[in-house]
Amino acid sequence: MEISVNLSTRFPHILSSPLPSSFSAVSSLPALRPSHNSATAAKTTITIVVKEQTPATALISRRNHKSNSYLSRKSAVLQVQQSSDLASSLQRFGGILKVQDLNAILRHFGEQNRWPDLSQLFNWMQQHGKTSVSSYSSYIKFLGKSLKPLKALEIYNNITDESTKTNVFICNSVLSCLVRNGKLDSGIKLFDKMKQNGLTPDAVTYNTLLTGCIKVKRGYSKALELVQELKHNGLQMDSVMYGILLAVCAANSLHEGAESYFNCMKDEGHSPNPFHYSSLLNAYSSVGNYEKADELVQEMKSSGLVPNKVILTTLLKVYVRGGLFDKSRELLAELDTLGYAEDEMPYCLLMDGLAKAGRLDEAKAVFSELQEKSVKSGKSPPLDDDLFLQDL
DNA sequence: GTAGGGTTAG
């Protein structure tokens, strides 16, 4: 079938109107671009060949339409991401961007640590009603990364919709933000409120809070309470959870507890990874139990894992704590050979142990060795949990 | 079309 259309009037209208869905246009639309020279344009007759739609061509048509729309949105996403003037580019492209596109830009800003752009975009999205659960969970996560837990709480507290406020992704994101910034007590208090409001916590929720127990006073007992609660809620311990618990035990010098979790984990069929091994080793270091440490490293090798820098440094710590200074020096030499002694940590471990044992000359000798090499150092201390409780 | 993970020093 072939029809002729006389485009004598109202070009823009014709061009902006979609063809009936039962037809697919074969002609090239750019040829229809209206001319400002109305004298010539008015006489233009264009032949459009149309074919009856079959299910197959209908599918292709939909795909092309979807693809074109996707491409233009994708282009707009890039324009906004690369724009030096976010406000004007949002004004220009914001209209065609879907919430998922804006979320992608939001994540991009977050991954690039572009904090001012991140907040500006989120504000725009809120003002234009273009947010979803994902927008909140991403934005709050990045507020945590940029050390702005108060801002995250403000965003969360301003959510009025009940189901959004108890959405597990958003709740986990807020709790993670607090824990990441050293606010475990505030996090646990907020967690209780969230449950009262209807949150059903999942394994991620508990792992998030358990992580906060590692570097905190009374962390072990808090962790035990959380474990009891998650089991009561029918959730199961997983490999990650065991990893966190081992770290909690190690941080509290509880080598028996660590051993017990390690064995439980294996009994339940989880294979320990280097993180599990290093935490248990670290727990052994608190009592200088080098026999068990050596045994564990052997077991690790037998399972096919190669001891890495952290494992060997932790083993050094065990030897030092156990007073095995000759063995320690041998291991330090091995670390050096492997290129694992480029920072000051292993030297500090050995010097500290020697000094505490009153072997100052030997400690000084290690210090001289350290000075001869170009070693690196540096790490900032974490933040304190201060006035957060009163905000909750 | 979103959230979470554990390791080494003082």
Residue A65 lies inside a defined structural domain of this protein: yes
Which of A100, A115, A131 is a domain's end point? Answer: A131
Question: Could you tell me if A105 and A91 lie in one domain?
Answer: yes
pLDDT value of residue A70: 81
Confidence of residue A71 (pLDDT cuts 50, 70, 90): confident
How does the average pLDDT of chain A come out, rounded? 83
The residue that leads in pLDDT, A289 or A3, is A289
pLDDT of residue A77: 95
**Pick from A194-208, A305-319, A370-384: least confident:** A370-384
Q: Which amino acid is at A47?
A: T
pLDDT digits (tens, 9 = 90+) for A183-211: 999 999 999 999 999 999 999 999 999 99
Residue A346 pLDDT level (bands cut at 50, 70, 90): very high
- Same domain (yes/no): A28, A77: no
Give the rounded percent of residues in chain A with a pLDDT score beyond 70: 78
Read off the pLDDT of residues A128-166 as tens digits, 9 standing for 90 and up.
999 999 999 999 999 999 999 999 999 999 999 999 999
Which of A127, A91, A123, A87 has the alpha carbon at shortest distance from A106? A123
CA(A15)–C1'(B10) in Å?
73
- Distance, CA of A84 to CA of A116 (rounded, Å): 12
Average pLDDT over residues A337-365: 94
pLDDT at A49: 38
| Number of domains chain A contains | 2
pLDDT band at A65 (very low <50, low <70, confident <90, very high): low
The DSSP element (H or E) to which A230 belongs, if any, is helix A219-232
Four-point Cα dihedral A266, A270, A274, A276, nearest 10: -60
pLDDT at A11 over 60: no
Counts of helices then strands in chain A (DSSP H, E): 21, 3
The nucleotides of chain B lying under 7 Å from a protein CB are 1-10
A116 within 8 A of A92, measured Cβ to Cβ: no
d(CA A108, C1' B8) / Å: 32
| Structural domain span for residue A121 | 55-131
* Distance from CA(A259) to C1'(B6), angstroms, rounded: 15
Nearest protein residue to nucleotide B10 (CA to C1' distance) is A348
Range in A234-243, A250-259, A372-381 with the lowest mean pLDDT: A372-381
CA distance A166 to A259: 37
How many angstroms separate the CA of A241 from the C1' of B5? 7
C1' nearest to CA of A340: which nucleotide?
B8
Spatial distance from the CA of A206 to the C1' of B4 (Å): 8
A45 and A61 together in one domain: no
Looking at the structure, tell me whether residues A86 and A103 fall in a common domain.
yes
Q: Which nucleotide is nearest to A142 (CA to C1')?
A: B3
Q: Is the pLDDT of residue A75 over 60?
A: yes
3-state secondary structure of A2: strand
| The pLDDT of residue A64 | 55
Instruction: Tell me if residue A343 falls in helix, strand or coil.
Output: strand
Q: Is residue A96 part of a domain?
A: yes
